[in-house]
Copies of this chain bind each other. A is one copy, B any other.
Amino acid sequence: MTYEDRLFAALADPTRRAIFERVAGRRQSVAELARTMPVSQPAISQHLKVLKAARLVRDAPSGARRIYSIDPEGLGPLRAWLDRFWSEQLAAFKAAVETADDS
């Protein structure tokens, strides 16, 4: 499984994406997430494990707690992938225009 696979797969699940969005908004502990979300604490931990493997979040111990925060680098590859297609798409569009424009 490539790195890119892990990234896209991590973002595919709605619950996991919601967790990511919360953590992105404000760093917080597992218990805090579990308290305000409609799934159990183990489910939260499992999702965080996936997000961490995709480098979307980081974690730091704080006593018995573990504070999760967004990983600033995590979304970089996604943006790179996206940009690749935007320029590709632009090139294709340009070529199409030039072909149609049979001057």
Interchain CA distance A85-B57 in the complex, whole Å:
13
- Please give the distance in Å from A55's CB to the nearest CB on chain B: 14
Within A18-47, the residues touching B (CB, 8 Å) are 21, 24-26
Question: Do B93 and A72 touch (CB < 8 A)?
Answer: yes
* Interface 1/0 per residue, A65-80 and B, CB below 8 Å: 0000010100100110
- Complex CA gap A24/B88 in Å reads 7
Number of copies: 2
Taking a contact as CB atoms closer than 8 A, the residue among B11, B12, B82 that contacts A75 in the complex is B82
Asked if residues A82 and B78 are in contact (CB atoms below 8 Å), the reply is yes
Other A-B pairs, 20, CB within 8 Å; known A8-B12, A25-B92: A2-B14, A5-B14, A8-B11, A11-B12, A12-B12, A21-B85, A24-B85, A24-B89, A24-B92, A25-B88, A26-B92, A70-B85, A70-B89, A70-B92, A75-B82, A75-B85, A75-B86, A75-B89, A78-B82, A79-B86
